[in-house]
C-alpha cells in the first residue's frame, strides 16, 4: 500500500444512537441473524446512523430490503426522534406496498419501540423484530450498508450543512448504491439488477 500511495480509511469516533433505556415493549428477534430472504418484501431491516456537519449532527434513518440489500426508505433530520424513523418507514411502505407478514427488523431503540411506530407496523401488517440488547451482529446487514456509506461517501468529504448531506445521500442511494453498486452477496449484481432477475 505504501509503494502505491494507498492509505486505509480510518474509523471515526463512536457515537451512541440506540437508546434502549425505555419502558416500551421489546419485540422478539424473528431473524436470528438469518439475513437471507426468498423474495422481495419478506424481510426488511432498519437502523439510524449519524453524520457530522458544521451545523451539527445529521441523523440518517434507513430501511433495507434484505432480499436485494436495496435501500427502500430513508430520511435525514437534525434530531434522532421517532419522526425520523417514521419518515423512512413511510417511504419504504409507499415504494414497496409490502404484503402482510413482512418482517421488520431493527434494534431496540426508543424510536422503533414507540407506540406510534409500532402502530404504523400493525396498520400495514408488518411483523416487528428486534435485535438482542447491545448485539450489533443481529442487524449486521444494515451495519454493512453504513460501513460502505461511510467509506465511499461520508468520510471522504467535509460537510457544511445537513442539506448538503441530504443531497449527497439522494445521489448516492438513487444514483449509485441501488442501481450500480455490486454486492458479493448478490453474485456481483446491484440491488436493482438483482430484483429485476426476481421479477
How many angstroms separate the CA atoms of 21 and 37, rounded?
31
- What is the pTM for the complete model shown? 0.86
Give me the mean pLDDT over the 172-192 stretch: 96
For 138, residues 6+ apart whose C-beta sits below 8 A from its C-beta are: 29, 31, 33, 105, 107, 131, 132
**What number of other Cβ atoms are within 10 A of residue 197's Cβ?**
10
| Residue of 42, 17, 19 lying closest to 113 (CA atoms) | 19
Handedness of CA 14, 17, 21, 25 (dihedral sign): negative
- Average of pLDDT values for 45-74? 97
pLDDT single digits (tens) 18-38? 544 545 689 999 999 999 999
Q: Per residue in 144-153, pLDDT tens? A: 999 999 999 9
Rounded CA-CA distance 76/197 in Å is 31
Reported as a single tens digit per residue, the pLDDT across 76-101 is 999 999 999 999 999 999 999 999 99
**Contact by Cβ (8 Å): 72, 198:** no
Amino acid at each position: 500500500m505504501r509503494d502505491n500511495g494507498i492509505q486505509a480509511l480510518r474509523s471515526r469516533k463512536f457515537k451512541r444512537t440506540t437508546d434502549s433505556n425505555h419502558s416500551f415493549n421489546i419485540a422478539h428477534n424473528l431473524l436470528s441473524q438469518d439475513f437471507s430472504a426468498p423474495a422481495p418484501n419478506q424481510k426488511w431491516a432498519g437502523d439510524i446512523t449519524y453524520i457530522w456537519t458544521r451545523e451539527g449532527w445529521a441523523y440518517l434513518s434507513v430501511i433495507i430490503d434484505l432480499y436485494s440489500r436495496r435501500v427502500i426508505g430513508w430520511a435525514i433530520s437534525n434530531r434522532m426522534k421517532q419522526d425520523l424513523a417514521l419518515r423512512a418507514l413511510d417511504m419504504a411502505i409507499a415504494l414497496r406496498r409490502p404484503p402482510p407478514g413482512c418482517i421488520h427488523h431493527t434494534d431496540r431503540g426508543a424510536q422503533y419501540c414507540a407506540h406510534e411506530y409500532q402502530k404504523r407496523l400493525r396498520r400495514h401488517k408488518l411483523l416487528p423484530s428486534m435485535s438482542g440488547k447491545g448485539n450489533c451482529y443481529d442487524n449486521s446487514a444494515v451495519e454493512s450498508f453504513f460501513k460502505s456509506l461511510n467509506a465511499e461517501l461520508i468520510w471522504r468529504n467535509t460537510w457544511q450543512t445537513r442539506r448538503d448531506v441530504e443531497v449527497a445521500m439522494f445521489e448516492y442511494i438513487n444514483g449509485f448504491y441501488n442501481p450500480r453498486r455490486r454486492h458479493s452477496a448478490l453474485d456481483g449484481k446491484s440491488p436493482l439488477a438483482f430484483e429485476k432477475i426476481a421479477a
